[in-house]
Amino acid sequence: LRKVRRQQQLVSKRLLREDAPGAAGEPGGEGEGLARSEMQRLLRAAQRGTGEKEKEAALGSLRRGLQHPQSQRTFIRMEGGIRALVGLLTSSRAGLRLEAARCLHELSHADDPAVAEACLPSTSYLLTYLSGHSADFVELCLYTLGNLAVDSEAVRKQLLPQGVISAMAACVQSPHPAVLEALGYALSQLLQAKEASDQIIPRVLASPLLRHVLRLLRPTPEWGPGVAVEFAWCLHYIVCSQVDNPLLISRGALSALAELLPELAGAVSEAPDTGLELLACPVLRSLGNLLAEESAPAAPGWERLRDERILVAVFVLVRAFLRCRPGLVPECLWLLNNLTADDPALCTALLTLDLIAPLLQLLPSSQEVSVLALTVLCNVAEKGPLYCQRLWPGPTLPSLLATLALSDPEVVGQSLELLQLLFLHWPEAAHDFLQQSGLRALEQHEGHTELRDRVRALKETALRGSRPPPTSCDPTPPPPLPAL
């Protein structure tokens, strides 16, 4: 029942612009690019102009022109264009360095991978500038490096021997949230690379970065959620690579996530649209994936995960996301599945905290939500007769009869699985099912190829196990479940 969910690559680019594109009719203005001759003129002016202001203005006009795809392609084919821009990037004048970096940033945002590879000569300087410069400049360099790394394996291969991991490990100690958010973005782009498992993630795990990734998972009021969101995705990509998840667990990843989840649930329930909900997806996935590791039960913080507050936090998130982010509800249920798959104590908590009814209320939802909710209920029923006895009364039967009326084979199939467990462990459930026209509900699926054999087996189990319920007017209460 435990599954490892892998996130497909979230290839994206970030663009920092402090001013809008120029007005129509201005070089580089809205709707027009720059001709080769104009770009050559602007580069000459930036290199040989009579004053700093004139040089910076020329680079500013070039930057606006480079916002256009055709201008970007023309520029990288222009002889000496990139070389001149890199030369300006190394200028002793801070203003020229900044404008040159902004031009490179525009190029890094291009859709054409050839543009990123044309910028290869700039990467060593961008890395050098990650230390000892203004926070704004470092932020710009980080986003530029992240953008370049997305598209080009050649860029990534060059960055590794140039010391990108060491540079990031030094940069992660910055006190500036904008720099840390940009660093998280740039690191996440490297971690998504196809060669990340072999060439990048082992270097990250061997560096001080991992400790800081875990530290920066927790949002602060001063910084907002941005930094935590970026580093949560970094952790997610590392976990999904499965390079060394036991190392992550031994370094406290499970403990950090277990501490974060209840705090996150409380914050999201109070203010669901403040950006904290964006943190939930990577946190839920990382926690669920690490729970699937064999070394998890021996991990620091394991007992915290068996605390009923973790279950409450998951259901708080489910309730909040049903209103504002329904796409995140399956993430919550998938974690709940991994929490309860092999843990009778947490299954006990689901029953004693009256959390079965909220699960049943999710059954009329989407296919994915319905299947996951039914899977969690199967985890409970699988634990044996005591659990099935407590699971069966109340709305369980009408809810399952309603799912059997659906046509979706996955939802119906998981409902059959749950009923099979209930009938095997608690025969009175079979009696109640037959009394409520359960056979008729099953017969409508006998013609379905995928379900036919399972329907037949369930009918046999129901008929074999059915017996009248106790007739005593003072029935014996069910024995207590195992304690938490």
Q: Which domains does the chain show, CATH number per domain?
A: 40-162 (1.25.10.10), 345-467 (1.25.10.10)
Asked whether 22 and 29 are in contact (CB, 8 A), the reply is yes
Using only the alpha carbons of the chain, give its radius of gyration. 29
CA 431 – CA 88 distance, rounded (Å): 83
Res 471: pLDDT: 44
Res 394: pLDDT: 85
Nearest to 213 by CA among 302, 137, 282: 282
Res 307: pLDDT: 86
Indicate the helix (H) or strand (E) that contains 335. Answer: helix 329-340
- Cα within 13 Å of Cα(426), Cβ side: 25
pTM recorded for the entire structure? 0.89
In tens digits, what is the pLDDT along the chain, a chain of 484 residues? 334 444 444 456 788 876 544 443 444 444 468 999 999 999 999 998 888 899 999 999 999 999 999 999 999 999 999 999 999 999 999 999 999 999 999 999 999 999 999 999 999 999 999 987 799 999 999 999 999 998 899 999 999 999 999 999 999 999 999 999 999 999 999 999 999 999 999 999 999 999 999 999 999 888 889 999 999 999 999 999 999 999 999 999 999 999 999 999 999 988 767 778 889 999 999 999 999 888 888 877 778 888 899 999 999 999 999 988 999 999 999 999 999 998 999 999 999 999 999 999 999 999 999 999 999 999 999 999 999 999 988 899 999 999 999 999 999 999 999 999 999 999 999 999 999 988 999 999 988 888 999 999 999 988 886 655 554 434 444 555 555 4
Strand, helix or coil for residue 79:
coil
CA 416 – CA 418 distance, rounded (Å): 5
Asked whether 21 and 29 are in contact (CB, 8 A), the reply is yes
Buried b (16+ CB within 10 A) or exposed e, 390-406: bbbeeebbebbbebbeb
Res 466: pLDDT: 60
Instruction: For residue 244, count CB atoms less than 10 angstroms from its CB and return exposed for 0-12, middle for 13-18, buried for 19 or more.
Output: middle
